[in-house]
Amino acid sequence: MGQTGLFAGHRAYSLGDDLRLLDWNAYARSGELFVKMLEEEDRRSVTLLLDVSPSMTAGDRFVGAQRLAAVLGSLALAHLDGVHLANGLEPPRIFEGNASRPRLLEWLAGQRPESAIEPNHALATLERRTAGRVLWISDFAEPETFAPALSMLRRRGRPTVGWLPAVAEDRGVEVGGWIRLRDLESGAERRVQVDRGLRAALEHELETLARHQDAVFRGAGYPLVRFELPALDDHRTAAWLEASWRSVV
């Protein structure tokens, strides 16, 4: 995909920006480095970042994330020139045109949560060559890991939308009695007796986490969409996304 598009302005150079976008004329005039912003580039491609960390396996979150990515990717192929798909483990894949939709869906279907994800893998992925608006699908479970990435995106002026496939586990625990609680990330386990007091305390902590997640995105100037996963046979999601493609993407 080439470096074409209408000139949309300058922004200050940040470490990692594409050197081909440097405006040397502006440097000659001001002595400072500036990067050209091309408007068409934002419209013609998006970057889909799918979180494949083990924490995404909570409930139906990963399946929902895959379906959401499939819908968003399909819409991007239909309306834009292409879409970059990244999972943080391998170089981003580029898909262009509706003809590549089967390959896109095949790629998404083959994604599995990996237990050997390095922290801040999102940041490492986005620092590679990606283009367009960023659609980041994740549970954003640890704000300390995605906050630096958002800050980097903000510095580089990359529009970003966070998609959080919400599951019941994000609001509390439904079971009671003794359970064996297991951390999906580290594998640590603990026997826990779920009682009324613990439920209330957990709901409070999860609400705090949600507010923290919203605050981090709000601080970066980006929206965070909590996407309630529909049933597997519910097709209204795609219809809704189709109708609100412009405002969401």
Partner 1 sequence: MPRQLVAVVELALIHPQRLWTLLGLLALFWLALPPRPRRAVGTAHWGPWQRALERAGHRPVRLRRLRFWLLASAFALAVVAWAGLRIGGREGPLRLEVVLDGSASMAARDEGGPLLAQARRAVTERWLSLAEHVEVAVVEVGAGVRLWRGRGGQLASGWAADHAAGGEGRELAGLGRGEGVDVQRWVLTDGGRGVPDVGAVTVLASGGANAAVEERGVIDRWPLPGMEVRVTVRHQSGPTLRGRVSLEGAIQVVEPMEVVLEPGGRFEARWSVERLADGGEMVVRWDCANDALGADDAIAWRLAPLPRPRITVLSDGDGGAWGVAAAELLAERTGGAVVEAAAGAEVAFLIVDGGRLDLAGVPRGLCFGTLAGAGDAEPWIGPRVADWNREHPLTAGLDFSELRVGTAWPAAIPPAAEVLVAGEDGPLIALVEGEDGAFVHTAFRLGDSNLPLLAAFPQLLQRCFAAAWGATRSVEPLPGGARDVPATEGVLPAVASAERDLAPFGAPPWDPGVWLLALAGLLIAIRVYT
Indicate whether 178 belongs to the interface with partner 1 (CB under 8 A): yes
The amino acid present at 168, given as its one-letter code, is A
Q: How many angstroms from the chain centroid is the CA of residue 90?
A: 16
Indicate whether 21 belongs to the interface with partner 1 (CB under 8 A): no
3-state secondary structure of 191: strand
What minimum distance in Å lies between the beta carbon of 92 and partner 1? 24
Q: Tokens for 236?
A: 């209204």
Indicate whether 225 belongs to the interface with partner 1 (CB under 8 A): no
What minimum distance in Å lies between the beta carbon of 111 and partner 1? 17
Q: x/- binding map, residues 123-152, to partner 1, per CB under 8 A? A: ----------------x-xx----------
Listed residue (16, 84, 72) closest to 47, CA to CA: 84
**Pick from 48, 50, 52, 56: which binds partner 1 (CB under 8 A)?**
56
**DSSP 8-state class, residue 170:** G
Listed residue (181, 180, 176, 182) closest to 199, CA to CA: 176
Q: x/- binding map, residues 185-224, to partner 1, per CB under 8 A? A: xx-x-xxxx-x-xx-xxx-xxx-xx---------------
What minimum distance in Å lies between the beta carbon of 122 and partner 1? 15
Listed residue (43, 51, 32, 102) closest to 73, CA to CA: 102
HSE of 98, CA atoms in CB hemisphere, 13 A: 3
Among the residue ranges 29-37, 117-125, 182-190, 213-221, the one whose residues contact partner 1 (CB under 8 A): 182-190
**Beta-carbon neighbour count of residue 157 at 10 Å?**
14
* Binding region for partner 1 (CB under 8 A): 55-58, 61, 139, 141-142, 169-170, 173, 175, 177-186, 188, 190-193, 195, 197-198, 200-202, 204-206, 208-209
